[in-house]
Amino acid sequence: MDAAATFQPNAAEAGIDRSLIVRNLTKAYRAGQPVLRDVSIAFAPRGVTAVIGPSGTGKSTLIRCINRLVDPTAGELLFRGDDLAKLRGRALREARRRIGMVFQEYNLVERLTVIENVLCGRLGYVPVWRAWARRFDSKDVDRAFQLIDAVGLTAFATQRADQLSGGQRQRVGIARALMQEPDLILADEPTSSLDPKTSVEIMELIASRAGERDIPAIVNIHNVALARRFADRIIGMSKGSIVFDGKPQELEDSHLLQIYGGEGWLE
């Protein structure tokens, strides 16, 4: 069929506003000790934003508040006409399925195969009995295979996730996120557990797939060079607040000292 020939595995729906507005976001895991302090950012409807900053500065919390793996203490998260911070139950699940997430430790279900992990990206759409019986829609299965091809794991599709290397696992993680047909990709230190070469490949994959889908990606990252290379915008955080927000070429050593503190490590 002609439809099959023109089938785009990674094409996004047109005409949707994918901008994300974070307003006065605060999160305190313990009362009186906020990890995020009154953060406000407007994310454009496309492009890669890198969030840099020292460990424990609230980068992960920021990302996890967006898809509500963490519940914010106060503030608004406006996305596609909803305040994500207020959603519960079904509405929250429906918002989550539009947001793909890539994790530092890949967080694949180890005992499932690669394709089962990728198909997990459809769980927001598929009734539980279908998932249980592995009777996924054949269109979903086809798309899962195409995504696995696209991330270069064709030969591993039916292997169990615990047999893969770190870089291969992260590719599965990205395919899982793309399988959701997301309107937004969140990546929480996606390269921190990987070697330098693989890190570049993974960032390249995230940036190119997000660009191809024309959706925004928010990436927490420790590696400033990678952030400069792949991001359209860099946000620097320190102690729960934003201390830098600009284009990669505007990020100077003085900013890095302000973000990470200390002296001498930059030389």
* Contacting residues toward another protein, per CB under 8 A: 67, 69, 93-101, 103, 105, 107-112, 116, 120-124, 126, 128, 131-132, 173, 176, 180
Burial class, 65, CB count within 10 angstroms (exposed 0-12 / middle 13-18 / buried 19+): buried
Least Å from the CB of residue 123 to another protein: 3
Contact 219, 49 (CB under 8 A): yes
In the sheet that 74-79 helps form, which strands lie side by side, from edge to edge? Answer: 36-43, 20-27, 74-79, 82-83
Least Å from the CB of residue 105 to another protein: 6
Contact 260, 54 (CB under 8 A): yes
Give the nearer residue to another protein in terms of CB position, either 123 or 157: 123
Least Å from the CB of residue 120 to another protein: 5
Least Å from the CB of residue 254 to another protein: 36
Least Å from the CB of residue 165 to another protein: 18
Helix, strand, coil percent values for the chain (each to nearest 5)? 40, 20, 40
Token couple for 4? 């099959």
Give the nearer residue to another protein in terms of CB position, either 129 or 265: 129
Give the nearer residue to another protein in terms of CB position, either 46 or 130: 130
Least Å from the CB of residue 237 to another protein: 21
CA atoms within 13 A on the CB side of 98: 21
Give the nearer residue to another protein in terms of CB position, either 63 or 234: 63
Give the nearer residue to another protein in terms of CB position, either 105 or 214: 105
Give the nearer residue to another protein in terms of CB position, either 28 or 69: 69
Q: Which residue has the tokens 């990206």?
A: 121
- Kindly report the CA angle at 110 between 196 and 170, in degrees rounded to 5? 25
Query: What span, in angstroms and rounded, lies between the C-alpha atoms of 160 and 146?
Result: 18
